[in-house]
Amino acid sequence: MPSNSLFHFITKIINFEGFKVTNYHFITENELLIQLENQESLSTCPQCHKVTDKVHQSHRYRVRDIPVSSFDVFLLVNRRQFRCNKSDKVFSEELNFFKKRRTYTIRLADKVVKEVLETDLVNAGKRNRVSPAEIETILKELELDLLEEKPKELKRLGIDEITHLCMW
């Protein structure tokens, strides 16, 4: 069955831990949309680290993934909001393959950035079927991520080191 083997192939190339491919279809003749479902019914509250299964609501996102041959690949995935059992506060689940407010997977961004560094913007764009504008967005958002991570780094430093840094 040809459609069955294509399904197996898609499942193999997607391979995100805890996610199952539930469906796929071609949006255009070279754009493939793959629907994923989270197999995990629990999430851990980032505040109190307690596990909850109360889903508050769910948002569906379309994110770009690494292309396959001459096909653009898009993923259709839900990011759920859970309600903490302890505080009753709502939080958004962390997914291991795409960051919040991003329209592409982490692995696509990693691949593009690596290839921009190894070759150039034009080549990296062609290989990954992304436009120069999309690469610019990826680079800009990577910079934002790094800036956001800096305060966390500071928190990890001891108070002595911070005092020392402030003296300079």
Which positions lie near Zn ion, rule CB under 5 A?
45, 47-48, 84, 86-87
Which residues, 6+ apart, have CB-to-CB distance to 9 below 8 Å? Answer: none
CB of 50 to Zn ion, least distance (A): 5
Which residues, 6+ apart, have CB-to-CB distance to 80 below 8 Å? Answer: 38, 43, 55, 56, 57, 58, 59, 92, 93
CB of 98 to Zn ion, least distance (A): 23
**In contact, 95 and 122? CB cutoff 8 Å:** no
Closest to Zn ion by CB, 45 vs 138, is: 45
Closest to Zn ion by CB, 47 vs 119, is: 47
Closest to Zn ion by CB, 80 vs 102, is: 80
CB of 92 to Zn ion, least distance (A): 13
Closest to Zn ion by CB, 57 vs 87, is: 87
3-state helix, strand, coil in the chain (%, to 5): 40, 30, 30
CB of 53 to Zn ion, least distance (A): 13
Q: C-alpha angle with apex 105: 103 to 108, nearest 5 degrees?
A: 115
Q: How many CB atoms lie within 10 A of CB 40?
A: 11
